[in-house]
Structure 1
Amino acid sequence: MLIEVLSDWRKTFEGYHLYYASRRQHTPALAALIEALRFRG
Protein backbone atom coordinates (compact mmCIF):
# COMPACT_ATOMS: atom_id res chain seq x y z
CA MET A 1 0.00 0.00 0.00
CA LEU A 2 1.29 3.48 -0.88
CA ILE A 3 0.47 6.46 1.28
CA GLU A 4 1.09 9.99 0.04
CA VAL A 5 2.99 12.14 2.54
CA LEU A 6 3.83 15.82 2.40
CA SER A 7 1.20 16.44 -0.27
CA ASP A 8 1.25 20.17 0.56
CA TRP A 9 4.85 20.33 -0.68
CA ARG A 10 4.19 18.60 -3.99
CA LYS A 11 4.60 20.72 -7.11
CA THR A 12 1.83 20.74 -9.66
CA PHE A 13 2.66 19.66 -13.18
CA GLU A 14 2.93 22.76 -15.33
CA GLY A 15 3.50 21.04 -18.64
CA TYR A 16 6.45 20.22 -20.80
CA HIS A 17 9.17 22.69 -21.74
CA LEU A 18 11.20 21.95 -24.83
CA TYR A 19 13.93 24.06 -26.39
CA TYR A 20 15.01 23.37 -29.93
CA ALA A 21 16.54 25.40 -32.75
CA SER A 22 13.66 26.50 -34.94
CA ARG A 23 15.90 27.35 -37.91
CA ARG A 24 17.12 23.81 -38.43
CA GLN A 25 15.17 21.11 -40.14
CA HIS A 26 13.77 18.68 -37.60
CA THR A 27 14.35 14.96 -37.74
CA PRO A 28 11.14 12.95 -38.11
CA ALA A 29 11.53 11.72 -34.53
CA LEU A 30 11.79 15.25 -33.12
CA ALA A 31 8.86 16.44 -35.22
CA ALA A 32 6.76 13.54 -33.91
CA LEU A 33 7.76 14.33 -30.32
CA ILE A 34 6.86 18.01 -30.70
CA GLU A 35 3.51 17.13 -32.24
CA ALA A 36 2.75 14.60 -29.49
CA LEU A 37 3.57 17.11 -26.75
CA ARG A 38 1.41 19.77 -28.40
CA PHE A 39 -1.47 17.33 -28.63
CA ARG A 40 -1.21 16.45 -24.91
CA GLY A 41 -1.04 20.11 -23.84
Structure 2
Amino acid sequence: MSQKYDKDFKIQTVRMIQEQGKPVAQVARELGVSDNTLYR
Protein backbone atom coordinates (compact mmCIF):
# COMPACT_ATOMS: atom_id res chain seq x y z
CA MET A 1 0.00 0.00 0.00
CA SER A 2 1.39 3.40 -0.93
CA GLN A 3 1.92 6.22 1.55
CA LYS A 4 -0.35 9.26 1.22
CA TYR A 5 1.12 12.70 1.92
CA ASP A 6 -0.98 15.71 2.84
CA LYS A 7 -1.01 18.99 0.94
CA ASP A 8 1.17 20.81 3.50
CA PHE A 9 3.89 18.15 3.25
CA LYS A 10 3.89 18.45 -0.54
CA ILE A 11 4.07 22.25 -0.48
CA GLN A 12 6.90 22.24 2.06
CA THR A 13 8.82 19.72 -0.03
CA VAL A 14 8.49 21.76 -3.23
CA ARG A 15 9.63 24.90 -1.39
CA MET A 16 12.72 23.12 -0.07
CA ILE A 17 13.67 22.16 -3.62
CA GLN A 18 12.73 25.34 -5.49
CA GLU A 19 13.29 28.17 -3.02
CA GLN A 20 16.21 26.78 -1.05
CA GLY A 21 17.82 25.20 -4.10
CA LYS A 22 18.35 21.86 -2.41
CA PRO A 23 18.83 18.79 -4.63
CA VAL A 24 15.94 16.34 -4.73
CA ALA A 25 18.15 13.56 -3.36
CA GLN A 26 19.09 15.66 -0.31
CA VAL A 27 15.49 16.62 0.43
CA ALA A 28 14.43 12.98 0.08
CA ARG A 29 17.07 11.90 2.62
CA GLU A 30 16.06 14.65 5.06
CA LEU A 31 12.40 13.64 4.83
CA GLY A 32 13.06 9.90 4.91
CA VAL A 33 11.48 9.16 1.54
CA SER A 34 12.87 7.83 -1.74
CA ASP A 35 13.91 10.10 -4.60
CA ASN A 36 11.24 8.50 -6.79
CA THR A 37 8.55 9.54 -4.34
CA LEU A 38 9.43 13.20 -4.83
CA TYR A 39 9.40 12.95 -8.60
CA ARG A 40 5.78 11.74 -8.61
Q: Same fold (TM over 0.5)?
A: no
Larger CA Rg, structure 1 vs 2: 1
TM-score calculated relative to the size of structure 1: 0.39
- The structure whose RCO (Cα within 8 Å, separation 6+) is larger is 1
| Greater fraction of residues in helix | 2
